[in-house]
Structure 1
Amino acid sequence: EIMSFIRSYVVPEGFPDSVTPSYVPYMTWRALKHFFGGAMSVFTTRALLNSVGVSQSRATSGAVAINWILKDGAGRVGKMLFARQGKKFDYDLKQLRFSGDLMMELGAGIELATAAFPQLFLPLACMANVVKNVAAVTSTSTRTPIYKAYAKGENIGDVTAKGESVGNIADLLGTGMSILMSKRNPSLVASFAVLSCGYLLSSYQER
Protein backbone atom coordinates (compact mmCIF):
# COMPACT_ATOMS: atom_id res chain seq x y z
CA GLU A 1 0.00 0.00 0.00
CA ILE A 2 2.88 2.35 0.76
CA MET A 3 4.48 1.71 -2.63
CA SER A 4 1.12 2.18 -4.32
CA PHE A 5 0.71 5.50 -2.52
CA ILE A 6 4.19 6.67 -3.61
CA ARG A 7 3.62 5.55 -7.20
CA SER A 8 0.41 7.58 -7.34
CA TYR A 9 2.52 10.72 -6.87
CA VAL A 10 5.59 9.96 -8.98
CA VAL A 11 4.59 7.83 -11.99
CA PRO A 12 1.73 8.17 -14.51
CA GLU A 13 -1.23 5.83 -14.18
CA GLY A 14 -0.64 2.60 -16.07
CA PHE A 15 3.16 2.93 -15.79
CA PRO A 16 5.25 1.56 -17.49
CA ASP A 17 2.88 0.82 -20.36
CA SER A 18 1.54 4.39 -20.43
CA VAL A 19 4.91 5.94 -21.38
CA THR A 20 7.72 5.25 -23.84
CA PRO A 21 10.82 3.27 -22.71
CA SER A 22 12.99 6.42 -22.72
CA TYR A 23 10.78 8.09 -20.10
CA VAL A 24 12.56 6.56 -17.08
CA PRO A 25 16.11 7.63 -18.07
CA TYR A 26 14.80 11.11 -18.88
CA MET A 27 13.04 11.48 -15.54
CA THR A 28 16.03 10.08 -13.63
CA TRP A 29 18.33 12.76 -15.01
CA ARG A 30 15.63 15.40 -14.63
CA ALA A 31 15.22 14.51 -10.95
CA LEU A 32 18.98 14.73 -10.43
CA LYS A 33 19.01 18.13 -12.12
CA HIS A 34 16.30 19.40 -9.79
CA PHE A 35 18.16 17.94 -6.80
CA PHE A 36 21.31 19.89 -7.64
CA GLY A 37 19.24 22.96 -8.50
CA GLY A 38 17.50 22.90 -5.13
CA ALA A 39 20.83 22.50 -3.36
CA MET A 40 22.35 25.45 -5.22
CA SER A 41 19.43 27.71 -4.39
CA VAL A 42 20.34 27.58 -0.68
CA PHE A 43 23.82 28.99 -1.35
CA THR A 44 22.68 31.63 -3.85
CA THR A 45 19.87 32.80 -1.57
CA ARG A 46 22.30 33.03 1.33
CA ALA A 47 24.66 35.11 -0.80
CA LEU A 48 21.84 37.46 -1.81
CA LEU A 49 20.63 37.92 1.75
CA ASN A 50 24.13 38.57 3.07
CA SER A 51 24.95 41.09 0.37
CA VAL A 52 21.70 43.01 0.77
CA GLY A 53 22.58 43.59 4.40
CA VAL A 54 20.14 41.34 6.24
CA SER A 55 22.78 39.49 8.25
CA GLN A 56 24.86 42.62 8.97
CA SER A 57 21.86 44.79 9.89
CA ARG A 58 23.34 47.58 7.82
CA ALA A 59 20.15 48.24 5.90
CA THR A 60 16.68 49.15 7.03
CA SER A 61 13.92 46.68 6.38
CA GLY A 62 12.34 49.15 3.95
CA ALA A 63 15.51 49.46 1.88
CA VAL A 64 15.90 45.68 1.78
CA ALA A 65 12.30 45.25 0.64
CA ILE A 66 12.65 47.87 -2.11
CA ASN A 67 15.85 46.28 -3.45
CA TRP A 68 14.20 42.86 -3.44
CA ILE A 69 11.09 44.14 -5.23
CA LEU A 70 13.18 45.91 -7.87
CA LYS A 71 15.19 42.72 -8.41
CA ASP A 72 12.04 40.65 -8.92
CA GLY A 73 10.45 43.33 -11.10
CA ALA A 74 13.45 43.37 -13.44
CA GLY A 75 13.16 39.60 -13.82
CA ARG A 76 9.49 39.79 -14.74
CA VAL A 77 10.16 42.45 -17.36
CA GLY A 78 12.90 40.28 -18.88
CA LYS A 79 10.56 37.29 -18.95
CA MET A 80 7.84 39.30 -20.70
CA LEU A 81 10.20 40.67 -23.35
CA PHE A 82 11.77 37.29 -24.09
CA ALA A 83 8.35 35.62 -24.44
CA ARG A 84 8.03 37.47 -27.75
CA GLN A 85 10.46 34.89 -29.19
CA GLY A 86 8.03 32.07 -28.40
CA LYS A 87 7.62 30.99 -32.03
CA LYS A 88 11.27 29.92 -32.09
CA PHE A 89 10.71 27.53 -29.16
CA ASP A 90 9.12 24.94 -31.45
CA TYR A 91 12.44 23.97 -33.04
CA ASP A 92 15.11 21.73 -31.48
CA LEU A 93 13.37 21.65 -28.11
CA LYS A 94 15.96 19.67 -26.18
CA GLN A 95 18.85 21.83 -27.33
CA LEU A 96 16.86 24.92 -26.38
CA ARG A 97 16.10 23.36 -22.98
CA PHE A 98 19.81 22.77 -22.35
CA SER A 99 20.58 26.36 -23.36
CA GLY A 100 17.98 27.48 -20.83
CA ASP A 101 19.70 25.46 -18.10
CA LEU A 102 23.03 27.06 -19.02
CA MET A 103 21.39 30.46 -18.61
CA MET A 104 19.95 29.38 -15.26
CA GLU A 105 23.48 28.55 -14.08
CA LEU A 106 24.75 31.88 -15.36
CA GLY A 107 22.05 33.66 -13.37
CA ALA A 108 22.91 31.67 -10.24
CA GLY A 109 26.58 32.54 -10.70
CA ILE A 110 25.75 36.25 -10.90
CA GLU A 111 23.69 35.92 -7.71
CA LEU A 112 26.69 34.33 -6.02
CA ALA A 113 28.85 37.27 -7.14
CA THR A 114 26.76 39.62 -4.99
CA ALA A 115 28.53 38.12 -1.96
CA ALA A 116 31.86 39.44 -3.29
CA PHE A 117 30.43 42.80 -4.39
CA PRO A 118 27.63 43.69 -1.94
CA GLN A 119 27.79 47.34 -2.98
CA LEU A 120 26.63 46.23 -6.45
CA PHE A 121 23.75 44.16 -5.11
CA LEU A 122 20.95 45.83 -7.05
CA PRO A 123 22.48 45.78 -10.57
CA LEU A 124 23.87 42.27 -10.13
CA ALA A 125 20.67 40.91 -8.61
CA CYS A 126 18.56 42.52 -11.35
CA MET A 127 20.83 41.07 -14.04
CA ALA A 128 20.70 37.63 -12.43
CA ASN A 129 16.93 37.69 -12.18
CA VAL A 130 16.52 38.74 -15.81
CA VAL A 131 18.76 35.86 -16.95
CA LYS A 132 16.99 33.32 -14.70
CA ASN A 133 13.53 34.45 -15.80
CA VAL A 134 14.51 34.16 -19.46
CA ALA A 135 15.70 30.63 -18.66
CA ALA A 136 12.37 29.96 -16.91
CA VAL A 137 10.44 31.00 -20.03
CA THR A 138 12.53 28.57 -22.07
CA SER A 139 11.93 25.76 -19.57
CA THR A 140 8.18 26.35 -19.34
CA SER A 141 7.72 26.66 -23.10
CA THR A 142 9.56 23.44 -23.93
CA ARG A 143 8.20 21.32 -21.06
CA THR A 144 4.88 20.19 -22.54
CA PRO A 145 6.17 19.19 -26.02
CA ILE A 146 8.94 17.13 -24.39
CA TYR A 147 6.53 15.37 -22.03
CA LYS A 148 4.21 14.77 -24.98
CA ALA A 149 6.97 12.83 -26.72
CA TYR A 150 7.10 10.38 -23.80
CA ALA A 151 3.34 9.95 -23.33
CA LYS A 152 1.32 7.16 -24.92
CA GLY A 153 -2.25 7.96 -25.80
CA GLU A 154 -4.17 10.84 -24.24
CA ASN A 155 -2.29 10.97 -20.93
CA ILE A 156 -0.12 14.06 -21.46
CA GLY A 157 -1.70 15.78 -18.45
CA ASP A 158 -0.90 12.86 -16.16
CA VAL A 159 2.67 12.54 -17.47
CA THR A 160 3.25 16.27 -17.00
CA ALA A 161 1.79 16.34 -13.49
CA LYS A 162 3.85 13.36 -12.30
CA GLY A 163 6.99 14.72 -13.94
CA GLU A 164 6.58 18.02 -12.09
CA SER A 165 5.92 16.14 -8.85
CA VAL A 166 9.18 14.21 -9.22
CA GLY A 167 11.01 17.48 -9.89
CA ASN A 168 9.55 19.10 -6.78
CA ILE A 169 10.43 16.14 -4.56
CA ALA A 170 14.01 16.13 -5.86
CA ASP A 171 14.22 19.90 -5.36
CA LEU A 172 13.11 19.57 -1.72
CA LEU A 173 15.63 16.79 -1.08
CA GLY A 174 18.41 18.89 -2.58
CA THR A 175 17.39 21.89 -0.51
CA GLY A 176 17.37 19.83 2.68
CA MET A 177 20.81 18.38 1.93
CA SER A 178 22.21 21.82 1.21
CA ILE A 179 20.81 23.26 4.45
CA LEU A 180 22.64 20.52 6.37
CA MET A 181 25.80 21.24 4.38
CA SER A 182 25.61 24.98 5.00
CA LYS A 183 25.64 24.45 8.78
CA ARG A 184 29.25 23.31 8.41
CA ASN A 185 30.10 26.61 6.69
CA PRO A 186 31.72 25.07 3.58
CA SER A 187 33.42 27.19 0.93
CA LEU A 188 30.68 29.02 -0.96
CA VAL A 189 32.52 28.96 -4.28
CA ALA A 190 33.66 25.33 -4.02
CA SER A 191 30.19 24.11 -3.01
CA PHE A 192 28.57 26.04 -5.83
CA ALA A 193 31.12 24.72 -8.36
CA VAL A 194 30.47 21.07 -7.41
CA LEU A 195 26.69 21.46 -7.41
CA SER A 196 26.78 23.41 -10.66
CA CYS A 197 28.77 20.66 -12.38
CA GLY A 198 26.22 18.11 -11.18
CA TYR A 199 23.38 20.28 -12.45
CA LEU A 200 24.86 20.79 -15.91
CA LEU A 201 25.88 17.14 -16.29
CA SER A 202 22.35 16.04 -15.39
CA SER A 203 20.89 18.60 -17.78
CA TYR A 204 23.13 17.40 -20.62
CA GLN A 205 22.25 13.74 -20.00
CA GLU A 206 18.56 14.67 -19.79
CA ARG A 207 18.54 15.74 -23.46
Structure 2
Amino acid sequence: MNFKAASQGAVKAKVGMKSIDYFTQRPTLEADRGDREVITRDGRFRLSEDGELGRRELEKRLEQSSGEHLYRVVMSSGDVEMTAQETERWARNVLERNNIDNYMLVIHAGAQGHTDHPHAHVLIPAEKRFTVEDIRQLRVAGDMEQQQVAYTPRAMSIRQDYGDETNVSGKPGGKQPEREMENDGSQKKRTVDIQFGN
Protein backbone atom coordinates (compact mmCIF):
# COMPACT_ATOMS: atom_id res chain seq x y z
CA MET A 1 0.00 0.00 0.00
CA ASN A 2 1.26 3.46 -0.85
CA PHE A 3 -0.37 6.81 -1.43
CA LYS A 4 -0.01 10.13 -3.20
CA ALA A 5 -1.12 13.39 -1.64
CA ALA A 6 -3.49 15.02 -4.10
CA SER A 7 -5.89 17.61 -2.75
CA GLN A 8 -6.89 19.15 -6.08
CA GLY A 9 -9.43 17.25 -8.15
CA ALA A 10 -7.59 17.63 -11.46
CA VAL A 11 -4.36 16.37 -9.90
CA LYS A 12 -6.19 13.41 -8.35
CA ALA A 13 -7.70 12.51 -11.71
CA LYS A 14 -4.35 12.73 -13.51
CA VAL A 15 -2.47 10.68 -10.91
CA GLY A 16 -5.31 8.17 -10.54
CA MET A 17 -5.76 7.56 -14.27
CA LYS A 18 -2.04 6.94 -14.66
CA SER A 19 -2.40 4.13 -12.11
CA ILE A 20 -5.59 2.85 -13.76
CA ASP A 21 -3.81 2.65 -17.13
CA TYR A 22 -1.03 0.61 -15.54
CA PHE A 23 -3.48 -1.67 -13.71
CA THR A 24 -5.61 -2.34 -16.79
CA GLN A 25 -2.93 -2.59 -19.48
CA ARG A 26 -0.06 -4.41 -17.78
CA PRO A 27 0.94 -7.35 -20.03
CA THR A 28 -0.41 -10.81 -19.21
CA LEU A 29 1.69 -13.94 -18.64
CA GLU A 30 1.53 -14.52 -22.42
CA ALA A 31 2.93 -10.99 -22.95
CA ASP A 32 -0.36 -9.76 -24.45
CA ARG A 33 -1.41 -6.25 -23.57
CA GLY A 34 -3.85 -6.36 -20.68
CA ASP A 35 -7.48 -5.48 -21.25
CA ARG A 36 -8.89 -5.54 -17.75
CA GLU A 37 -12.08 -4.09 -16.32
CA VAL A 38 -12.16 -1.31 -13.75
CA ILE A 39 -14.69 -2.39 -11.11
CA THR A 40 -16.38 0.10 -8.83
CA ARG A 41 -19.06 -0.49 -6.23
CA ASP A 42 -21.76 0.51 -8.69
CA GLY A 43 -20.41 -0.29 -12.14
CA ARG A 44 -17.77 -1.67 -14.47
CA PHE A 45 -15.67 0.01 -17.13
CA ARG A 46 -13.56 -1.51 -19.88
CA LEU A 47 -11.61 1.38 -21.33
CA SER A 48 -10.87 -0.47 -24.58
CA GLU A 49 -14.63 -0.60 -25.22
CA ASP A 50 -16.00 2.39 -23.31
CA GLY A 51 -13.45 4.74 -24.85
CA GLU A 52 -13.33 8.41 -23.93
CA LEU A 53 -16.74 8.35 -22.24
CA GLY A 54 -15.65 5.66 -19.79
CA ARG A 55 -12.34 7.38 -19.19
CA ARG A 56 -14.05 10.71 -18.55
CA GLU A 57 -16.46 9.08 -16.06
CA LEU A 58 -13.58 7.61 -14.04
CA GLU A 59 -11.73 10.95 -14.13
CA LYS A 60 -14.88 12.72 -12.92
CA ARG A 61 -15.25 10.28 -10.00
CA LEU A 62 -11.66 10.90 -8.99
CA GLU A 63 -12.01 14.69 -9.32
CA GLN A 64 -15.12 14.72 -7.17
CA SER A 65 -13.82 12.32 -4.52
CA SER A 66 -13.19 13.80 -1.10
CA GLY A 67 -9.93 13.68 0.77
CA GLU A 68 -6.31 14.39 0.03
CA HIS A 69 -4.96 10.86 -0.21
CA LEU A 70 -5.01 8.56 -3.20
CA TYR A 71 -4.01 5.04 -2.11
CA ARG A 72 -2.70 2.35 -4.43
CA VAL A 73 -3.12 -1.06 -2.87
CA VAL A 74 -2.21 -4.58 -3.98
CA MET A 75 -4.43 -7.24 -2.41
CA SER A 76 -3.78 -10.97 -2.49
CA SER A 77 -5.30 -13.77 -0.44
CA GLY A 78 -2.24 -15.95 -1.00
CA ASP A 79 -4.37 -18.70 -2.57
CA VAL A 80 -2.86 -19.49 -5.98
CA GLU A 81 -5.93 -21.53 -6.94
CA MET A 82 -8.37 -18.61 -6.84
CA THR A 83 -10.14 -17.78 -10.09
CA ALA A 84 -10.58 -14.23 -11.35
CA GLN A 85 -14.20 -14.27 -10.14
CA GLU A 86 -13.21 -15.51 -6.67
CA THR A 87 -10.43 -12.92 -6.48
CA GLU A 88 -12.89 -10.15 -7.33
CA ARG A 89 -15.47 -11.33 -4.81
CA TRP A 90 -12.81 -11.72 -2.13
CA ALA A 91 -11.31 -8.25 -2.71
CA ARG A 92 -14.66 -6.47 -2.89
CA ASN A 93 -15.87 -8.12 0.32
CA VAL A 94 -12.66 -7.25 2.17
CA LEU A 95 -12.94 -3.60 1.16
CA GLU A 96 -16.63 -3.32 1.95
CA ARG A 97 -16.26 -5.10 5.31
CA ASN A 98 -13.92 -2.24 6.18
CA ASN A 99 -16.39 0.44 5.00
CA ILE A 100 -14.34 1.28 1.91
CA ASP A 101 -17.04 1.93 -0.66
CA ASN A 102 -15.22 4.34 -2.95
CA TYR A 103 -12.71 2.21 -4.85
CA MET A 104 -11.54 1.31 -8.34
CA LEU A 105 -10.57 -2.34 -8.48
CA VAL A 106 -8.70 -4.20 -11.23
CA ILE A 107 -8.26 -7.99 -11.11
CA HIS A 108 -5.01 -9.65 -12.19
CA ALA A 109 -5.98 -13.32 -12.27
CA GLY A 110 -6.97 -16.03 -14.73
CA ALA A 111 -6.40 -15.05 -18.37
CA GLN A 112 -5.65 -11.49 -17.25
CA GLY A 113 -3.04 -12.50 -14.69
CA HIS A 114 0.66 -11.74 -15.04
CA THR A 115 2.01 -13.85 -12.18
CA ASP A 116 1.15 -17.21 -10.64
CA HIS A 117 -0.50 -15.35 -7.74
CA PRO A 118 -4.03 -13.98 -8.30
CA HIS A 119 -4.32 -10.47 -6.92
CA ALA A 120 -6.17 -7.19 -7.23
CA HIS A 121 -4.93 -3.63 -7.68
CA VAL A 122 -7.08 -1.03 -5.98
CA LEU A 123 -7.21 2.74 -6.15
CA ILE A 124 -8.81 4.29 -3.04
CA PRO A 125 -9.43 8.03 -2.62
CA ALA A 126 -9.38 8.63 1.13
CA GLU A 127 -9.93 11.52 3.51
CA LYS A 128 -7.50 10.21 6.11
CA ARG A 129 -4.29 8.26 6.12
CA PHE A 130 -4.57 4.56 6.84
CA THR A 131 -3.13 3.65 10.22
CA VAL A 132 -1.35 0.45 11.17
CA GLU A 133 -4.60 -0.67 12.80
CA ASP A 134 -6.57 0.03 9.61
CA ILE A 135 -4.17 -2.17 7.67
CA ARG A 136 -4.39 -4.89 10.31
CA GLN A 137 -8.18 -4.84 10.02
CA LEU A 138 -7.92 -5.25 6.25
CA ARG A 139 -5.69 -8.31 6.79
CA VAL A 140 -8.09 -9.79 9.35
CA ALA A 141 -11.01 -9.28 6.95
CA GLY A 142 -8.93 -10.83 4.15
CA ASP A 143 -8.29 -13.95 6.22
CA MET A 144 -11.96 -14.24 7.15
CA GLU A 145 -13.06 -13.82 3.54
CA GLN A 146 -10.51 -16.40 2.38
CA GLN A 147 -12.00 -18.94 4.76
CA GLN A 148 -15.40 -18.30 3.18
CA VAL A 149 -14.02 -18.68 -0.35
CA ALA A 150 -12.37 -21.98 0.60
CA TYR A 151 -15.30 -23.30 2.63
CA THR A 152 -18.36 -22.46 0.51
CA PRO A 153 -17.68 -24.58 -2.62
CA ARG A 154 -16.52 -27.51 -0.51
CA ALA A 155 -19.54 -27.31 1.76
CA MET A 156 -21.80 -27.38 -1.30
CA SER A 157 -19.89 -30.40 -2.59
CA ILE A 158 -20.24 -32.18 0.75
CA ARG A 159 -24.01 -31.68 0.71
CA GLN A 160 -24.21 -33.03 -2.84
CA ASP A 161 -22.09 -36.07 -2.03
CA TYR A 162 -23.48 -36.99 1.38
CA GLY A 163 -26.74 -35.16 1.95
CA ASP A 164 -27.56 -32.54 4.57
CA GLU A 165 -27.26 -34.80 7.62
CA THR A 166 -23.68 -35.80 6.92
CA ASN A 167 -20.73 -33.61 7.74
CA VAL A 168 -17.05 -33.93 7.36
CA SER A 169 -14.16 -33.08 9.62
CA GLY A 170 -10.70 -31.86 8.85
CA LYS A 171 -8.90 -29.01 7.19
CA PRO A 172 -9.82 -27.44 3.85
CA GLY A 173 -8.27 -28.98 0.80
CA GLY A 174 -7.36 -32.37 2.21
CA LYS A 175 -9.18 -35.68 2.35
CA GLN A 176 -12.07 -35.38 4.76
CA PRO A 177 -12.76 -38.57 6.72
CA GLU A 178 -16.26 -39.20 7.99
CA ARG A 179 -16.69 -39.30 11.73
CA GLU A 180 -19.50 -40.95 13.64
CA MET A 181 -20.36 -40.19 17.23
CA GLU A 182 -22.49 -42.11 19.67
CA ASN A 183 -25.73 -40.35 20.55
CA ASP A 184 -27.55 -41.66 23.64
CA GLY A 185 -25.80 -44.98 23.20
CA SER A 186 -28.32 -46.36 20.72
CA GLN A 187 -28.26 -44.05 17.70
CA LYS A 188 -25.30 -42.96 15.65
CA LYS A 189 -25.20 -39.38 14.45
CA ARG A 190 -22.87 -38.02 11.78
CA THR A 191 -21.46 -34.63 12.65
CA VAL A 192 -19.62 -31.71 11.08
CA ASP A 193 -16.27 -30.54 12.35
CA ILE A 194 -14.79 -27.91 10.04
CA GLN A 195 -11.40 -26.52 11.04
CA PHE A 196 -9.54 -23.67 9.40
CA GLY A 197 -5.80 -23.21 9.69
CA ASN A 198 -4.34 -19.85 10.69
Q: How does the TM-score come out when normalised to structure 2?
A: 0.23
Larger of the two Rg values belongs to structure: 2
Higher relative contact order (CA 8 A, sep 6+): 1
TM-score by length of structure 1 reads 0.22
Q: Going by fraction, where is strand more abundant, 1 or 2?
A: 2
Greater helix share, 1 or 2?
Answer: 1
